[in-house]
Amino acid sequence: MKRTAFFVSDGTGITVEALGRSLLAQFEHTEFTYVIKPFIDSTDKAARLVEFINNVHKEEGIRPVVVDTIVNDDVRSVLETAEAFTLDIFSTFLAPLEQELGSASSYSVGKSHSIREDDKVYKDRIDSVHFAIDNDDGGRTRHYDKADIILLGPSRCGKTPTCLYMALQFGIRAANHPLTDDDFEYGELPKAVRHYKHKLFGLTIDPVRLANIRNERKPDSRYASLRQCEMEVDEAELLYQRFGIPYINSTHFSVEEISTRMMDEAGIERRAAPK
């Protein structure tokens, strides 16, 4: 079954998309087309969106699912006229919380993503992103002593996006260093990381998947050949095993799963709450 799902917010839409995707992912037999609509913060915008939703209903012959975090009552009233199944995240959870805490919610737009001048958590996240960029792919190695974790792996196995995700979401200072033919030939760890063995974590990947990724960048090259990819993956895993470096296969995991599994196994605490 196919359904269209709208994630609607009067702010950035980050919260409602994260929650909505998590909810709808539980329904494996339904294929959803996601439509994200942020900054629906006036009745005029809501009315135009309702018209769009109703057209989708008419074209598809089945009402869309609308998940929203709208806090303005007037805007919500307009949205509720849509020919759709609507799920208001805030009202579902805030009312019981208000009763339990004995306090009224502020119902502030974008509250979970706002920052203050003294917001250390936000600063840590930004500093960690800069660290990940500055220490990407072995380009710079002199700050490895400040890293919380250093990722190893063949080229294009997911090191960079994993480092950036850990930095942005959790404030983790993550560097990454590539494994090359020279490392495989001598069976040794790269010189730059040998003193930081306790910080190392490896990535591996299915060779066929790696060849497909590399072919998108350098088609029909030795770098992208299946033979080369098989050799690099085999040698990388031998290195991990030889030096007792924990590693994870990135083939079937999202960057979110890779990051959280890696941090859990390495015993790294989050500095920042996920955004």
**Structure letter (DSSP) for residue 246:** -
φ, ψ at 94 (rounded to 5°): -70, -40
**Structure letter (DSSP) for residue 34:** E
Closest CA to 172 of 256, 275, 265, 270: 270
Structure tokens at 234: 């085999």
Residue 123, judged by CB atoms within 10 A of its CB (0-12, 13-18, 19+), counts as: middle
**Amino acid letter for position 110:** G
**Structure letter (DSSP) for residue 139:** S
Q: Which residues are annotated as a binding site for ADP?
A: 153-160
| Residue 40 near residue 79 (C-beta atoms within 8 A) | yes
The owner of tokens 């260093």 is 177
| Residue 226 near residue 271 (C-beta atoms within 8 A) | no
φ, ψ at 5 (rounded to 5°): -120, 125
Q: What burial letters (b/e) apply to 210-222, b meaning 16+ CB within 10 Å?
A: bbebbbeeeeeee
Q: Which residues are annotated as a binding site?
A: 153-160
